[in-house]
Amino acid sequence: MRAPQRREEIVRMARSNGLASVEHLAEVFGVTQSTIRRDLSTLDKSNQLARTYGGVIAVRSPHHEASLQERASECHGAKDAIGRWAAGQVEPGQTVLLDAGTTTARVAAHLHGTSPLTVVTSGLTPFFELADDSGMERILLGGEYREVSQSFVGPLTEAALDRWSFDRAFLGADAVTAERGICEASPVQTRLKELMARAGDQVYVLAHAAKLGATPFNAWVHLPGKWTLVTDAGATAEQLAPFESRGITTVLAD
Amino acid sequence: MRAPQRREEIVRMARSNGLASVEHLAEVFGVTQSTIRRDLSTLDKSNQLARTYGGVIAVRSPHHEASLQERASECHGAKDAIGRWAAGQVEPGQTVLLDAGTTTARVAAHLHGTSPLTVVTSGLTPFFELADDSGMERILLGGEYREVSQSFVGPLTEAALDRWSFDRAFLGADAVTAERGICEASPVQTRLKELMARAGDQVYVLAHAAKLGATPFNAWVHLPGKWTLVTDAGATAEQLAPFESRGITTVLAD
DNA sequence: ATGAATCTGCGCGTTTCGCGCGATACGCTC
DNA sequence: GAGCGTATCGCGCGAAACGCGCAGATTCAT
């Protein structure tokens, strides 16, 4: 049996049982524990499993892996600050929309304690950050699953969204410019964001400084109506000026 | 600082960062690594965290914990057999509905390799078991989240379901009797199941032997149309007789 | 105030880990 | 078919982390 094949099998076994020990795996495959350890080390590095003392544990939660990477990223602090400020705009009793994304996930995390509250989201990342409070109603817009963004898009999502209006709508973005609006990887995403903005009474676009003025993709949308740009203290005056000159309120979270 | 308080804080820190090392924790709290190790051991036993070599990892993925418990339960083997049989009924190119629940999650797990496929589900447990195949379209019916069943219910779910029909519909159940049909904890669930059955061309009810004839709750529904009862080899002839005498096809998975 | 229960630090033996080395198997080229 | 590079494996050793028992300290209730 080849090594890659054995590693796949290890992942399968670990996920099936939740746990697996080095000793047991070595016996099953008829190799030394050293070999198993090497395999586990490889799998651990590629985030498919987590090592434990004497074995492995399955960490298949889809958001877990990304969450870990996210927290290690340098802009996590900025996103958290933005999320905290945004959560502060929410008052008990309201109905709130959270777009998919790691920044809106930070909003969700800081929503803890604001109760009662109805939170609607299209992303698993923010969804799982929502507290299991008694007064918290958690609603997921279903739809077609996009693995890369851990979110739902498509006609089903849009149809579900069509049944709501929101006191606050918090949108994420891959990039934002004053001239072209919000940038995303695909038109299905920009269309969804447009609908989201339409459904929100007060609309906030959350984007840390690195996203201001960037153009990583080619799908753009101008948000309808008024909205507020929330970014972090790292944003420069030059970055903010074009927004303010167009009458867009800008906020620096800190 | 008291020990329970410190342990809470450790959980909080681990969840916030995903990871935490023994060394770092010992420094932060100003105690020896032994003490930290004891804490981690305690928290590990109570399933709040998972130990790793040199630290801990957060495993608060909502389904992970339940998944582990589920696999330890004695009826897991039966559910898996049922799931394997059910997955065998699915052919490439079809559109399939999976109800929420641990049994339908086993169906999802065995759907791996059947491609292309469109799978629609209302439960997170089956959803996360679905493989990330290229030909696999994963669709989640959104709605209001029920923590206990890790699934979505309510008008939004029903509205989303209304947009589909399915080649195969696999329903779970808290209990099944020939006389009264499917039993659930609440009417919102039974109503959803009724709609699911209506949307399915071929309908299967998956229930291991212990669920046949039981009456744990008080919300019942008679499924419309024909359906097939799939159970495990542990079901007795007396349990099956009432179903067969009513013309319901029964299958013993093995 | 006093006794029980819990918690903590320390030391020790045990287990697991990671790394480097040499050997082996596989695939590719000429 | 011979030669050669790459990937993989088993083994041994030193290091790191672990669990356990014991004794002193702290907390809490009576």
Residue B245, CB, less than 7 Å from strand C? no
Provide residues 152-211 of B with CB closer than 7 Å to any strand C atom.
Answer: none
The reply to whether residue A144 touches residue B144, judged by beta carbons under 8 angstroms, is no
pLDDT of residue B58: 82
Contacts of B53 in chain A (CB under 8 A): 51-53
Distance from the A111 Cα atom to the nearest Cα atom in chain B, whole angstroms: 15
The predicted structure's pLDDT at residue A2:
76
Chain A CA closest to residue B148: A132
How much is the average pLDDT of B50-56? 88
CB proximity under 8 Å: B 122-181 to A: 127-128, 132, 137-145, 147, 152, 156-157, 159-160, 163
Nucleotide whose C1' lies closest to the alpha carbon of residue A32: D10
Give chain A's mean pLDDT. 90
Summarize pLDDT for B198-243 with one digit per residue, the tens: 999 999 999 999 999 888 899 999 998 899 999 999 999 999 999 9
> Of A205, A252, A195, which Cα lies nearest the Cα of A227?
A205
Cα A15 from Cα B51, distance rounded (Å): 17
Which pLDDT score is estimated for B18?
78
Taking the CA of residue B186 as centre, how many other CA atoms within 13 Å lie in the half-sphere pointing to its CB? 7
Residue of A145, A147, A157 for testing the chain B interface, max B β-carbons within 10 Å: A145
User: For the residues A126-138, what does the mean pLDDT come to?
Assistant: 89
The answer to whether the CB atoms of A141 and B142 lie below 8 A apart is yes
The DSSP secondary-structure symbol of B73 reads: S
Q: Residue A15 has what pLDDT?
A: 78
A1 pLDDT band, cuts 50/70/90, is: low
- Interatomic separation, CA of residue A20 and C1' of nucleotide C25, rounded (Å): 28
Rg (CA), chain B: 22
> How sure is the predictor about A214, in pLDDT bands with cuts at 50, 70 and 90?
confident
pLDDT at A226: 93
Closest CA to D12 C1' — which residue? Answer: A34
Nucleotide nearest to A38 (CA to C1'): C18
Sort out which chain B residues have CB atoms less than 8 A from A16's CB and list them. Answer: 71
CA/C1' separation B58–D18 (Å): 20
β-pair type (A117-121, B136-140): unpaired
Note the pLDDT tens digit of each residue in A61-118: 545 555 656 665 668 889 999 999 999 999 999 999 999 999 999 999 999 889 899 9
- In sequence order, the 6+-apart residues with CB closer than 8 A to the CB of A201 are A165, A166, A167, A168, A169
Return the pLDDT at B68. 56
When pLDDT is averaged across residues B148-159 and rounded to a whole number, the result is 94
Q: What is the mean pLDDT of chain B?
A: 90
Contact B159 A160 (CB under 8 A): yes
Angle at A198 between CA A192 and CA A201, to 5 degrees: 130
For the cut 90, the answer to whether the pLDDT of residue A173 exceeds it is yes
Confidence tier at B108 by pLDDT (50, 70, 90): very high
> What is the rounded distance in angstroms from the CA atom of residue A174 to the CA atom of residue B192?
37
pLDDT of residue A73: 67
Would you say residue B192 has pLDDT above 80?
Answer: yes
Tokens for B223, please give them: 């499924």
pLDDT at site A165: 97
| B47 CA – D30 C1', rounded, Å | 35
Does any CB of chain A come closer than 8 Å to the CB of residue B63? yes
- Picking from A17, A67, A145, the nearest residue to B138 by CB comes out as A145
